[in-house]
Structure 1
Amino acid sequence: MNTQEPGITITLREIYDSVQTVSDALERMEGKFASLEEKSLSAIKAERQSQEALQVAQEAYKLAEDAHTQLLKERSDKEEQRSWFKRTIIAAMIPYLVSAGLLAISYLSNQ
């Protein structure tokens, strides 16, 4: 009783070759996944460093703004001091000028 059933006959060699092909593909995929994992870790590390650099830059910017504000305040204070000094000198000279003027008028009127 040798009956043939309709269908496809697959030999052990074909099965072995197919398994080897799948095995090779899995090894390549494993290598690619390992590379992808490594790149992902590297990207995560770079993102952390980027965040740290951003924080440092923001702190530096804030310090620069504070320094600029302080500089403007000091300039304003210095200008105010100069103005005060000029007014004080003028206010101190007015009595002497008035006295000198009165003395000159009195001297000229007596002659």
Structure 2
Amino acid sequence: MEKLTRPNAEIHIRHLTGRNPGNGEFAPSLVAQLRLALAQGASELEQHGYSLRDVTRIIFTLSGTEGFSACFSTLNELFGQSCPATTLRLVKSGRHQEELVELDLLVTPKS
């Protein structure tokens, strides 16, 4: 997490993954990994007084798009009508073979 250095600095939370904090293993499906990564992000945002609905951009890093459409209902449920700008990055593989998705969340505070 980057430190806020000026009043309206963008908050950028990087490298959110679907690794279960309890056992250190990755969840078995893309949707489950997405939910874990978003839960981590929501927790970090809360520390700065924000929620997922304040996210202005979300960056997905995926090793493949198979199963990604199953994530749409989760994204709609969590982001509602805030509809953040979205970037999809496709890579040959994640940092770990079991890693199906990595997220970056950005919030641009309102002045």
* TM-score bracket, shorter-length normalisation: under 0.3
In our comparison, the structure showing a higher alpha carbon Rg is: 1
| TM-score, normalised by the number of residues in structure 1 | 0.19
Greater RCO (Cα-Cα under 8 Å, separation 6 or more): 2
Structure with the bigger percentage of strand: 2
| TM-score, normalised by the number of residues in structure 2 | 0.19
